[in-house]
């Protein structure tokens, strides 16, 4: 087995917590280089994790002929640029979610990957349903819930109520683009389970308009909503309602409810669920034997490189699909009208 040499582009919290341990846990993989937001921060990562090379410029890292693959851990504002640069230099790409700033960038990334079919292009998947997702998809595929009538997604918390809390990158459009809070993550789950959405009507509001930016030492404008709601029509005939807020403390329950003509499924954060046929008591849903794989993102990425196996979670085409939804919801809010979504367009 030849050594697979991986370069890190950005080494934020998720890279340090998940991707570095995940890559180091795969036999024959070496984290060989890093390019972070500054050379000093890159050197700290190198010292902590034993990385041999530190690059000040991402362009130099992707041009290194000894690097076989890259793990892009930046915020969405750099995903398109670094993904395309890496693919053009012959590197396999594992890119952090969300895929991109908007649909146009996602489509550029997909086009670049299609120009290089011999390279693996994978997105870090929404990890919320790694335990129960396969079982839920089996039940839905078998028709155990009947025809799906309604889907509700609720993600309410009070994390944004305190206006003195420093601004987060997710609250700044220059870094997050058209991604609103956790909308894209939940949209990815719904897409996995139930397929595409064909139209949306959305509305949102910036409740806390200014927050302190420690890097700039001043207050900056918040231009991503603190509260957001989306009504969607799905290709399967169901209606989906998303309600997200960071200024709604004390919500009784968060999660996803799928209402079918035969049964109802209630999924909660923490990847637990109950379900019941109509007229019967709810019972806990347990994963089918052998389907609870846990977090194997980096392992799957390396396996796709070594064996040629197709990317399962999450492919660039699937990323473009959820970015169509995210982009349409943003445009609906901005333009105050319904937006049609054509799957595959």
Residues 254-267 pLDDT 10s:
999 999 999 999 99
* Mean pLDDT of all residues in 81-98: 98
Quickly state the pLDDT bin for 36 (edges 50, 70, 90).
very high
- Domain around 77: 4-124
- Give percent of the chain with pLDDT exceeding 70: 99
Domain match, 69 and 140 both? no
Q: Is residue 68 part of a domain?
A: yes
* Mean pLDDT of all residues in 193-210: 98
Q: Is residue 311 part of a domain?
A: no
If you average pLDDT over every residue of the chain, what do you get? 97
Structural domains counted in the chain: 2
Residue among 150, 154, 323, 345 at smallest CA distance from 233? 150
Alpha helices in 195-313, H assignment, sequence order = 297-307
Judge whether residue 152 has pLDDT over 90.
yes
Q: Is the sign of the CA dihedral 97, 102, 107, 108 positive or negative?
A: negative
CATH classification at residue 195: 3.30.360.10
Quickly state the pLDDT bin for 1 (edges 50, 70, 90).
low
Domain match, 38 and 88 both? yes
Judge whether residue 344 has pLDDT over 80.
no
Total Cβ atoms within 10 A of residue 137 = 15
Domain match, 217 and 285 both? yes
Domain match, 142 and 97 both? no
Domain match, 94 and 146 both? no
Total Cβ atoms within 10 A of residue 20 = 23
Domain match, 166 and 282 both? yes
Question: Is beta strand 227-234 parallel, antiparallel or unpaired with respect to 69-72?
Answer: unpaired
Domain match, 187 and 332 both? yes
Q: Is residue 75 part of a domain?
A: yes
Judge whether residue 310 has pLDDT over 90.
yes
Total Cβ atoms within 10 A of residue 216 = 9
Domain match, 255 and 140 both? yes
Domain match, 92 and 155 both? no
């Amino acid at each position: 087995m030849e050594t697979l040499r991986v370069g890190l582009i950005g080494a934020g919290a998720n890279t340090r917590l998940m991707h570095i341990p995940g890559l180091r846990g795969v036999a024959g993989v070496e984290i060989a280089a890093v390019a972070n937001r500054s050379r000093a921060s890159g050197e700290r990562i190198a010292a902590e994790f034993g990385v041999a090379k530190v690059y000040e410029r991402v362009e130099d890292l992707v041009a290194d002929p000894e690097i076989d693959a890259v793990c892009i851990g930046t915020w969405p504002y750099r995903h398109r640029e670094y993904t395309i640069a890496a693919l053009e230099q012959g590197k396999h790409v594992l890119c952090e979610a969300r895929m991109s700033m908007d649909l146009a960038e996602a489509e550029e990334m997909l086009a670049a990957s299609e120009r290089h079919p011999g390279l693996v292009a994978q997105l870090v998947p929404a990890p919320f349903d790694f335990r129960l997702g396969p079982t839920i998809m089996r039940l839905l595929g078998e028709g155990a819930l009947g025809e799906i009538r309604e889907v509700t997604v609720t993600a309410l918390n009070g994390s944004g109520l305190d206006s003195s809390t420093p601004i987060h990158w997710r609250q700044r459009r220059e870094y997050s683009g058209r991604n609103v809070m956790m909308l894209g993550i939940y949209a990815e789950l719904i897409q996995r389970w139930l397929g595409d959405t064909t139209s949306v009507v959305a509305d949102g509001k910036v409740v806390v308009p200014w927050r302190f930016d420690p890097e700039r030492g001043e207050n900056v404008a918040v231009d991503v909503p603190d509260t957001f709601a989306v009504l969607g029509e799905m290709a399967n005939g169901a209606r989906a309602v998303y309600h997200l807020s960071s200024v709604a403390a004390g919500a009784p329950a968060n999660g996803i409810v799928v209402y079918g003509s035969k049964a109802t499924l209630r999924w909660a954060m923490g990847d637990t669920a109950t379900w019941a046929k109509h007229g019967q008591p709810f019972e806990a849903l347990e994963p089918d034997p052998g389907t609870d794989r846990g977090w194997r993102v980096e392992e799957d990425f390396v396996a796709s490189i070594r064996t040629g196996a197709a990317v399962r979670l999450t492919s660039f085409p699937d990323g473009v699909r959820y970015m169509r939804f995210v982009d349409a919801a943003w445009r609906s809010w901005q333009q105050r009208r319904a937006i049609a979504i054509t799957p595959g367009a």
